[in-house]
Amino acid sequence: MKQKTVAPSIGILLTLSILHGLNDALQSAVTASYPLLKNDLMLSFSQVGLITLTYQISASVFQPIIGFFYDRHPYVWSLPVGSCFTMVGFISLAFATTLFWAMCSVFMVGIGSSTLHPEASRLTSIASGGKRGMAQSLFQVGGNLGGAIGPLLVAFWAAPYGRQYISFFSILPFIAIIVAIPVCRWYKNRLQLFKQENTAMKVRTESPLPMKTVIFSIGILLLLIFSKYVYISSLSSYYTFYLIEKFGVDIQESQIYLFVFLGATAIGTLAGGPVGDKIGRKYVIWVSILGAAPFTLLMPHVNLFWTVVMSFFIGLIISSAFPAILLYAQELLPYKLGLVSGLFFGFAFGIAGIASAILGKTADLYGLETIYRVCAYMPLLGIITCFLPDLKKIKSKDRDH
């Protein structure tokens, strides 16, 4: 049974992208503030890893649960509620005086992120009008742009004046609450329309593959997420420390170099969805994971200039993977959009958190450079993409028949 589609709601898609950007600006601001937290609270790298683990668990374990719940019981005002958690968490983080207090603060921020990602991703699919690749890339690039801005906020606002100035970042979730109101109203109207037409948002659409193949393919996709986010975690959590230790840059300069990497991920994300619509998501996944390997393998062995250049190309290439992977998974289970979105966003965050904690301990024991030499091999796991079915060819055959 085919779902009824409408023209893309561009205004709603842009708003969801902005909301994603505001959320991820704060997410990256949390990791960018680690040098400040480490200095203020006299933390070890292992303790920094624990903070990241706490944040990523709260922003991951709850995502598939929230996605599954809202698939069954849609709630119009879920996005503003999530922003309230983020606001409280960030104000608390600015004044935390103990490791436990800092962990509780980032836990609150994680709950807000855990609410936004599955809900906003599902709404993006509803508003796409069938152009899901374009819509998902637009949604993702908002998050990547926000993620790139976060370190700049820390570099130019908090780093020169003190960690307490992080409290001013709570303005962003307040703005998100205001921006989300038109989306909530649009969502309410859509829910009423679905009820009137007697077509629930959870209407069952057939999967293009047998369930055994679907489960196998989901497992491959999760392994690819694992390979990507272990490496991404090494950059997002410890790249600034690596630059400071190896090349002697200051905190402010290291945040600018982090912005170069995160900005590259925003540029690359724009290509993942639309290109996948045209040539098939399997090929985008293949190139975006495996194609980053030459640059990750070179980066630990070059000077500061080429390190920044390598990080740019890594971000540019690897960033197109997630929208392609998420859309591939949604096409495998088209009647569980919230659950699938929550599962993959949550798994990505969870892997990043666990990896950050392990990498922090590794850095304490063997040095920061070691983690980049080891993690450089993770993109080679992209070779397992060859085991994924080509959904584009399968759908073409179905249409021919």
Confidence label for 329 from pLDDT (cuts 50, 70 and 90): confident
Give the span between the Cα atoms of 99 and 278, in whole angstroms.
48
The position carrying tokens 């091999």 is 377
Return the pLDDT at 273.
66
Average pLDDT, the chain: 83
Confidence label for 4 from pLDDT (cuts 50, 70 and 90): very low
Return the pLDDT at 313.
94
- Of 272, 395, 278, the C-alpha closest to 325 is 272
C-beta separation of 172 from 25 below 8 A? yes
Cα 313–316–318 angle (5° rounding)? 100
Return the pLDDT at 144.
74
Which domains does the chain carry? 10-400 (1.20.1250.20)
Residues 6+ apart with CB under 8 A from 42: none
Residues 6+ apart with CB under 8 A from 325: 221, 224, 225, 281, 285, 344
- What tokens were used for 241? 């420390």
- Window from 50-59, 180-189, 240-249 with minimum mean pLDDT: 50-59
Asked whether the predicted pLDDT for residue 347 surpasses 60, the reply is yes
Tell me what the mean pLDDT of segment 380-400 comes to: 76
pTM of the predicted model over 0.75: no
Task: Express each pLDDT in 162-218 by its tens digit.
Answer: 788 888 888 999 999 999 999 999 988 888 777 666 544 444 455 667 888 888 999
The position carrying tokens 């801005």 is 149
Task: Express each pLDDT in 157-167 by its tens digit.
Answer: 787 777 888 88
Confidence label for 351 from pLDDT (cuts 50, 70 and 90): confident
The position carrying tokens 């993409």 is 385
The position carrying tokens 């400040």 is 36
Give the span between the Cα atoms of 10 and 14, in whole angstroms.
6
Helix, strand or coil, per DSSP, at residue 77? coil
Distance of CA 245 to CAs 242, 261, 303, 309, Å?
A: 5, 18, 13, 18
